Structure 1
Amino acid sequence: MKCYQHFDEREEMIIKYLPYVKYIASRLVAGKPPGLEYEDLISFGIIGLIDAIERFDPTKGLKFETYATLRIRGAIIDELRKISWIPKSAFSKLNYLNQLKNELETKLNREPTEEELSNYSGMSTEEIRNIESYINYISIISLDEVLFKSDEEDVKFKSIIKDSTSPQPDVIIEDNEKQNMLKKAIDMLSEKDKIILNLYYFEKLTLKEIGKILNISESRVSQLHSRAIVRLRENLKKLNYL
């Protein structure tokens, strides 16, 4: 195992890969709880980077950049999870609110305002905001974790979407099943949801960049992103996959 124990060498590695930390933090910043700043996420990420530098083993056949990315992202999300504990009922509440939104959207033929949703649901705007306060937290969780509850650190959304080869037949079958089900579930989404997922996961744009393209706020993009994930889960349930 190669360890960067010399202080100067480790310092050089941190400086070299700091842009990785900043990029990953920028993609997770929408999920930060109140009281935390972008700089806090960078601090969490640097801890992950240092861990990657200390633990990287080049004999495993993994590029350092790939390994560091996993450790940085994992360190930030671990800290956010500690701070932003979310009740078990959060998904059911979001699903229920999402169902009401869909019904009202169909009736109005457009996305309802908060006031319209409040009148339709019988909930106060404060109740709705409390439920939606979970959305940003959910948006920091990778799509594969939300959909498949994977325990493997290096499973990625794109690896599920596109074909991958493996010497293990059971893994190939499982991946193909995930791929087919996910494609079907995505096809059931609205165009707006598809666009959000495509820009975020395939074009690798930040929420801020997506907001500029769609001419909406960064927080609104975060809500749409999380709503798309929730709807994807609902579609997978309809397909009897979850």
Structure 2
Amino acid sequence: MSVASEYLQLQRESTEEMVRRHAPLVRRIAYHLMGRLPPSVDVDDLVQAGMIGLLEAARNYATDRMASFETYAGIRIRGAMLDELRKTDWTPRSVHRKLREVSEVVRQIENETGADATDAEVIRRLGIDAQEYHQILADAASARLLSLSAPEDDEDGAALDVADQEGLGPQDRFEQEGMRGALVEAIGGLPEREQLVMSLYYEQELNLKEIGAVLGVTESRVCQIHGQALIRLRARMTGWREQGAAADSSKARKLKSTG
């Protein structure tokens, strides 16, 4: 069914009917997100937030978006869930600090060697044992606040978030597209196994257990590989985070001068 045909069909439905028909999408997205969140997060809270996102999507969908309603609604549902999670940040500051430290070490090693930083190199540079390092990787995979585009001292945002383009000015859109391009390039440069985990998790939407079955490894090992990929991406996106911080600072100065 074309986007235009779907839009005409949706026009004939009431908002309530659209929400009821696509409600299973909310639960599917909620349970997928739960795969990287701690047990303390209540899936019902995510579902409730997601239903609000679905309701907004049903009210605002228009054919000129050039995307199916399910694709559009999925973005709005995920955004609503992530907004809800941001309101109740569970990640200790110590976790953020350790993730930044490991990311910086990975960046240093890769700049020095021109090759992917290995576990052994990172462990040796940090002066910690393998058990502590693996715990940090698990935290990286679980912490929704590992922002790839935020400045180093910014503890807001979510892993691999894609910003909603609505409300962005031309310059903001240009910068966002540039960041996306850099992120795609950085993912393409990951070690093969890390690329595969990222693809299976974010594109195919498999959970960690399912990915483990594909790779023939345990769920905990998949969690570690996922964490390694996120930390490596954070290290390689440092330039974009610094550029974003500089841009925000410039905007703040302009606002202050015109205030």
TM-score scaled by length of structure 1: 0.62
1:28 positional shift: 0.7
Letter matched to residue 191 of structure 2? S
> CA, structure 1 residues 122+236, in 2 after alignment: closer, same or farther (shift >3 Å)?
closer
* Structure 1 match to 2:164: 153
**Conserved in 1, the CA contact under 8 Å of 2:61 and 2:72?**
no
- For residues 81 and 211 of structure 2, the distance between their equivalents in structure 1, rounded to whole angstroms, comes to 22
1:1-242 equivalences under 5 Å are 9-53=14-58, 55-58=59-62, 60-61=64-65, 63-86=68-91, 90-97=95-102, 99=105, 102=117, 104-106=119-121, 121-122=127-128, 129=135, 132-133=138-139, 135-138=141-144, 152-154=163-165, 175=177, 178-179=180-181, 181-182=182-183, 184-237=185-238, 240-242=239-241
Percent of aligned pairs with the same amino acid: 32
Q: In structure 1, give the amino acid aligned to 2:230.
A: I
Kept after mapping to 2: 8 A contact 1:26/1:206: no
Residues 1:208 and 1:47: Cα distance change in structure 2 (over 3 Å): farther
Q: Which moved more, 1:33-42 or 1:64-73?
A: 33-42
Residues 30 and 219 in structure 1, CA contact (< 8 A), matched pair in contact too? no
Contact 2:138-2:227 within 8 A present in 1 as well: no
- The residue identity in structure 1 corresponding to 2:231 is V
Cα displacement (A) at 1:92:
4.3
2-side partners of 1:172 and 1:195: how far apart?
29
Q: Provide the secondary structure at the position in 1 that maps to 2:190.
A: coil
Unaligned 5+ residue runs, structure 1?
A: 108-116, 156-167
Counterpart of 1:105, as a letter, is A
Partner of 1:111: none
Is there any run of 5+ residues in structure 2 with no aligned partner, and where? 1-9, 107-116, 151-156, 242-259
Deviation at 1:93, TM superposition (A): 1.5
In structure 2, do the counterparts of structure 1 residues 149 and 205 end up closer, same or farther at CA, with 3 Å as the change threshold? closer
Cα shift readout 1:48-71 (whole Å, capped 9, x = no counterpart): 222323x32426545432332122
Q: Is the 8 A contact 1:208 1:217 kept in 2?
A: yes
Aligned residues: 209
Cα deviations by residue, 1:98-118 (Å, 9 ceiling, x for unpaired): 648x565259xxxxxxxxx69
In structure 1, what is the Cα distance between the partners aligned to 2:136 and 2:120?
A: 21
Is the CA contact 1:197–1:225 (under 8 Å) kept in the aligned structure 2?
yes
How far, CA to CA, are the matches of 1:148 and 1:39 in structure 2?
23
CA distance in structure 2 between the aligned counterparts of 1:38 and 1:174, rounded to whole angstroms: 30
Task: Return the offset for 1:86.
Answer: 3.9
Aligned to 2:153: none
Distance in structure 2 (CA, Å) of the matches to 1:170 and 1:36: 32
Per-residue deviation, 1:236: 3.1
Shift of residue 228, structure 1, vs aligned partner: 0.6
**Distance (whole Å) between structure 1 residues aligned to residue 70 and residue 40 of structure 2:** 30
Pair 1:91–1:24, CA change in 2 (3 A)? same
How far apart, CA to CA, are the structure 1 residues paired with 2:172 and 2:76?
28
Per-residue deviation at 1:224?
Answer: 2.5
Please report the RMSD computed on the Cα atoms of aligned residues, expressed in angstroms. Answer: 4.5
Cα displacement (A) at 1:153: 0.8
TM-score normalized by structure 2?
0.58
